[in-house]
Amino acid sequence: MKKYDFLVIGGGAAGFFAAINCAEHRPGLSVGIFEATPRVLSKVKISGGGRCNVTHNCFDPRALVRHYPRGGKELLGPFHKFGPEQTIAWFAARGVALKVEADNRMFPTTDSSQTIIDCLQGAVQKNGIELRLKALVETVEKIGDIFQVTLKGGEVIEAKTLMLATGSATFGWSVVRKLGHKLIEPNPSLFTFEIDHPLLKGLPGVSFPSVTAELQSTDGNFVQEGPLLITHWGLSGPAVLRLSAFGARVLAATDYKADLYVNFEGRIKGDEVFAVLMNNKNQEAKKKISTVNPLQGPRRFWEALLEFSGFAPDKLWADANKKELFKLSELITHFPFRIQGKGAFKEEFVTAGGVARSEIDFRSFQSKLIPGLFMAGEVIDVDGITGGFNFQNAWTGGFLAGTAAAEMVSGARAEPST
């Protein structure tokens, strides 16, 4: 029977990081990673358009946790121990340099996710970690102080400590539920909005550098700022993705139907836009309204907005009355849309929900109910917005879980707090 000191179920970012740091923290331990599919690190591969958004350029843990709709409070302590700064140093020590982009996302200087994959796989090989693919786990039991893992086909594995890093796979949640953990109902997060509106017809690809978007529901309102993109099916972009994350549970409860209001001028208020329009009426009186675009958005959008608002294509600024321009300013800064469903954001699909945070000791990412059982990543009810925050959660949880497991096996660590 194969026996491990530390066995990780799940070959994603959190699982790899936990296994590597366990092996490096206490060299000589037997460490294994079991992955159910033929491939590992699949999210790392596709993240950031194939470049891998490793982390975010935010070194203050108090500021960092604000980017987590669920779990920010619990991650404050862990981020003080292993945050973006430590992540950057960890990869640098292994020959991988990261760079900061204008929006503070951080990528490998090679602009290739394969660089991160090669680094992690190289560390697994260097530390003698056994990686098994197509290892389908059927059951997990704890018998005395030992975890007994049964694979499809009947093979039984034993482990002194065990980590579940199964992401949003239903198997992982099924295991923890059978082991006695409470599961918060999983819902999608980080998705686009399906909106069928005449204003958006013919405008796919039109983008805005910064808008303010407000999601309104009977259970509360959510506001986010950022770039916006018009798509064939509705709206996308960072502002929408962040809204989908913070409003994930409210939107799920309403079957993804809710009211959305967009200020296409960002933080600029309606009365300020109205003043600009009135100034144009006076200064550009003999020009066509359609030829003088006062907005940050492209002319295509301005023309579509005018058509939607009932302005004739050849109407002059001089012929626009105060009431018309006031209505236009209101639409620019508070345009109403009706969300009719959710679209996919395949690059960084994230789930809100998972193992209840109250049952995890976040100092070590160890179960409070079952000593020796560790969890990290999406299997726990923790999720961040787009921008490298979900990977940072994986690196942090993986590091703390892996080192804690190494100490536990070595007899240097007490059981988790309750």
Q: Provide the residue ranges of all domains of the chain, joining segments of one domain with +.
A: 3-188+348-409, 191-344
Position with higher pLDDT, 324 vs 416: 324
Q: What is the pLDDT of residue 413?
A: 47
Judge contact between 30 and 170, C-beta under 8 A: no
Q: How far apart are CA 74 and CA 361, in angstroms?
A: 9
Provide DSSP, 276-319: HHHHHHHHSTTSBGGG---SSS-HHHHHHHHHHHT--TT-BGGG
Beta-strand ranges (E) seen in 94-166 are 98-100, 105-108, 130-132, 137-143, 146-151, 156-164
pLDDT band at 296 (very low <50, low <70, confident <90, very high): confident
Task: Report d(CA 242, CA 259) in Å as an integer.
Answer: 16
For residue 416, pLDDT beyond 60:
no
Mean pLDDT of 171-183: 93
pLDDT value at residue 378? 94
What is the per-residue pLDDT for 414?
43
Please determine, for residue 42, whether its predicted confidence score (pLDDT) is greater than 70: yes
Thinking of the domain 3-188+348-409, which architecture would CATH place it in?
3-Layer(bba) Sandwich (3.50)
pLDDT of residue 239: 97
Within its chain, how far is the Cα of 223 from the centroid? 17
Which tokens in the block code for residue 46?
A: 């596709």
Q: Residue 414's CB: how many other CB atoms inside 10 A?
A: 9
Average pLDDT in the 182-195 region?
Answer: 95
Residues 109-126, mean pLDDT to the nearest whole number: 99
- Nearest alpha carbon to residue 380 among 10, 5, 49, 6: 10
Do 286 and 316 touch, CB atoms closer than 8 A?
yes
In the numeric block, which tokens belong to residue 342? 């959710």
Enter the pTM of the model.
Answer: 0.92
pLDDT digits (tens, 9 = 90+) for 191-222: 999 999 999 999 999 999 999 999 998 888 99
Closest CA to 222 of 196, 254, 199: 254
